[in-house]
Amino acid sequence: MANWKIKEGSDYKNPENLSVHPLILKILSQKGIGTDEGINNFLNPDYERDTHDPFLFLEMEKAVKRIKQAREKKEKVAIFGDYDADGVTSTAIIKETLDEIGISSFIYIPDKKIEGYGMNTGAVNDFRQKEVKLIITVDCGISNAKEIEEANGCGIDVIIIDHHHIPRQLPRACAIINPQMKNSGYPSKILAGVGVTFKVVQAIYETFLPEKKEQLKWLLDIVAIGTVADCVPLLGENRVLVKYGLIVLSKTRRIGLREIFSVARLLIDENNIPNTYNISFQIAPRINSAGRMDHANTAYNLVREKSQVKARELALELESNNQQRQKVTEKVVEEVKILAENSFKDKKLIFAVGEHFPIGVVGLVAGKVSEIFMKPAAVLQKGEKESQGSFRSIPQVNIIEAIEKCSEYLIKFGGHAQAAGIKIANENLEKFYEKLNSIIEKELEGKDISPEIEIDAEINLDKIDFQLIEGLQKMEPFGEGNRQPVFLSRNLTVNEATLVGNGEKHLKLFLRSENNSPKIYEAIGFNFAGQFRNIKPGDKIDAVFNVEEDEWNGSKKIQLKLIDMKKIN
């Protein structure tokens, strides 16, 4: 049972020139947004006002100057990307931009199963043989000091465009564009890889094609996909890129994306603007499935495909990959759960290593296992001499900082506070685990790691109306850093209870407020049937939920999406 924690309220005042629902004001004040300007900027994001000058990056001038040199000397350029949605979208927009300014370039996305994350010696040798003079890394590179040194030794310059954790040893690149750098000069530290790449693209257009800057907005469809998929906070500039990106996505010119919508049966068009849920759970998993199950080139090719017939074939291939990915993930999760219960019950870190764990799904499995057991989890594929895999963490543990303290045992590593990847010699597995587990134990000492549901506000059911819905919609897009508001209502009466859906897994309730108001609200609890099967009319409950608008056949109604509930009689 999760703990319910109601956020402490902050003082807030009604803005002079804005009509804002009091509950929305309260939620914004909890985020530290209390001024008229701050409220207006949050609820009404503006592309021109809220995006920063790309040349605030202190090394942007260097990067653009080196790209200019490549153009003037007609040098061959290699774009080294990553195999996830953030990397694929980053690769696509930088390739399209170099094409636009007449630079001869080709893309290289590593095979996750064979090469793993980041640059590698094999790729550098390939670039040397192809007489590449400049490598541009996107969504990777900051942890590849050794490989970049090898490139330098071959007479190849490297521009790093990345957003990952800054390691102790920086690569000797001719320019590093990474907002995580202490001296980056850039005000927003939370851009995704595709967001950082977009800033480089903006700088290139300002330098070479200032008259075409307006067309950059057509890139925002895939900037939004990469940003949401990488789970960066949807605040500040990210919020603007995603807000406008969702609009562009609704009218995307990319045939490949339209074919994904068609194959996945997603109603997305100019009259049906998608939301972040559509990206997180429907679009991004299909793009990611290419790198997980086969090769990310399939997703990259789909994003850039101009032929409808070919785009359809690629979209169907991704659909098949995604279905296969779901089956494989479920199977491995069950196996790692048993391992966690038997071998890591008294440990703070779950560390599953197996020869048969498919490298394409280890991150997904680690995430699900971490969520189930409320512990950091690692799932590694064991090779003959080396193992590689992914970590997922809980909010109380910055996993990349903990891993960095054990770096003497690693071949390479990289990532974020909540997600990371490593490659390690098998002989070091045990020593690495013992040290990392010890670090995490100290980190968690005295901390409560029980699952917790943060509640934004307690509300009387009768106060929920379409004015509140309208205010909540102004808070979108929702995601990391700007979660969909969560409400609590107490002492509700169950008017009707029904099990619905395939297999009757879901619970539909019709609820009245505590004062027996004539108003009845429909509530849906997805996968609630198992835990709350015995709920019946007349029962009293406290409920935690999101408030949403449900539209069917042109008719709109308010629906509560249940997160948790407690029977009180």
pLDDT of 44-59, one tens digit each?
A: 999 999 999 999 999 9
Please, how many CA atoms are within 13 Å of residue 521, restricted to the half-sphere of its CB? 29
- Specify whether the CB–CB gap between 415 and 164 falls below 8 A: yes
Q: What is the pLDDT of residue 19?
A: 82
> Is the model's pLDDT at 247 over the cut of 90?
yes
Condensed to tens digits (0 to 9), the pLDDT of residues 437-469 reads 999 999 999 887 888 899 999 999 988 999 999
Q: What is the structure's pLDDT at 113? A: 83
Model confidence at 11, in pLDDT bands (50, 70, 90)? low
pLDDT of amino acid 1: 64
pLDDT value of position 321 = 95
Q: What is the mean pLDDT of residues 404-427?
A: 93
Confidence of residue 16 (pLDDT cuts 50, 70, 90): low
Say if residue 140's pLDDT is above 80. Answer: yes
Domain 54-308 has CATH 3.90.1640.30: yes
In this predicted structure, the answer to whether residue 259 has a pLDDT above a threshold of 90 is yes
Which amino acid is residue 554, in one-letter code? G
* pLDDT for the residue 10: 64
Kindly state the helix (H) or strand (E) to which residue 198 belongs, with its residue range.
Answer: helix 193-208
pLDDT at 491: 92
The predicted pLDDT at position 31 comes to 87
Q: What is the largest CA-CA distance in the chain?
A: 79
Neighbours of 505 (CB within 10 A): 14
Residue 395 has pLDDT above 80, yes or no: yes
pLDDT of residue 492: 94
Most confident of the ranges 15-24, 37-46, 88-97, 339-348? 88-97
Burial of 403 per CB tally in 10 Å (0-12, 13-18, 19+): buried
Instruction: List the single range of 14-18, 95-99, 369-373 with lowest mean pLDDT.
Output: 14-18
- The confidence score (pLDDT) of residue 552 equals 76
pLDDT of residue 267: 94
Q: Can you tell me the mean pLDDT for 318-326?
A: 95
- Residue 404 above 70 pLDDT? yes
| Euclidean distance between CA atoms 243 and 248, whole angstroms | 9
**pLDDT band per the 50, 70, 90 thresholds, residue 399:** very high
Least confident of 20-29, 300-309, 320-329: 20-29
pLDDT of residue 22: 87
Helix (H) or strand (E) holding 118: none
Amino acid at 95: K
Pick the closest to residue 397 from 442, 443, 433, 366 (CA basis): 443
Residue % of the chain over a pLDDT of 70: 98
**What confidence category does residue 518 fall into, taking pLDDT thresholds of 50, 70 and 90?**
confident
Write out pLDDT tens, residues 333-361: 999 999 999 999 889 999 999 999 999 99
Reply yes or no on whether the pLDDT at 17 is more than 80: no
pLDDT at 480 over 80: yes
The correct answer on CATH 3.10.310.30 for the domain covering 344-444 is yes
Structure tokens at 180: 């995580």
Whether the per-residue pLDDT at 114 is higher than 90: the answer is no
Section 395-416 average pLDDT = 93
Mean pLDDT score of the chain, rounded to an integer? Answer: 94
Answer CATH for 453-567 from 3.40.50.720, 3.40.1410.10, 2.40.50.460, 2.130.10.10: 2.40.50.460
The mean pLDDT of 283-294, rounded to a whole number, is 94
* Confidence tier at 13 by pLDDT (50, 70, 90): low
| pLDDT, tens digit, 9 for 90 and up, residues 183-215 | 999 999 999 999 999 999 999 999 999 999 999
555: exposed, middle or buried (C-beta count within 10 Å: 0-12, 13-18, 19+)?
Answer: exposed
Instruction: Lowest mean pLDDT of 61-70, 71-80, 271-280, 494-503, name the range.
Output: 494-503
Task: Report which residue type is found at 383.
Answer: G
State the average pLDDT over residues 510-516: 83
Can you give the pLDDT at residue 212? 96
- Structural domain boundaries in the chain: 54-308, 344-444, 453-567
